[in-house]
Amino acid sequence: MKIELKNIKHFYALSDETNAFSAKLYVNDVLTAECSDTGKGGCMDIHPVKEKEALLAQAEIYAKSLPAIKTEFDFDLEMDLELLVGNLVSADLIEDDFRKTLKKLEVKNIVFGESKKELKYTWFTVGGNKKANITEMLSSPIGKKMLTERIAQLKKEGHQIFNTNIPEELLNNIPKPDNESEKK
């Protein structure tokens, strides 16, 4: 069963004990319920849209069949639809934060990491301590070479590169090892 949220609106100023939001719940690509949370703790509101009560009930049963979640305090939380929706909202917040941070950082940095939750970045300097703009680096052969080499090094260390402003062919152009022993 496919359960997803669409039209998620976050209300950061209202979030106190929980994430304040409103969203539409889709089950198997069908609008099934309106979801919201005031951010003050307590239960989340999940109200079925007209004539979708049975589908919402099926989604609730399905959610309860999913594995429990291990908490940071080393106990399990049994899955239910409210917890599933809360996790989808949290994932959307992480993705939203990632997109905003990436947009800001990628102008003058290679943005990398093992996951979107813990971004790292590195840059090149020109003329002293001034950060080089990635677009400007891409406009010169030497800049492209420097980017390619740094990206290869980061990938070799197991990192993902998240930049959207670096061409795919450059991201995948990994230099060949210098000697045969490195190939093995």
Mind listing the pLDDT tens digit for each residue in 14-26? 888 889 999 999 9
Pairing of strands 125-126, 130-131: antiparallel
Q: Cα dist. 157→88, 154, 161 in Å?
A: 30, 5, 11
Mind listing the pLDDT tens digit for each residue in 117-147? 889 999 998 877 889 999 999 999 999 999 9
Which pLDDT belongs to residue 41?
85
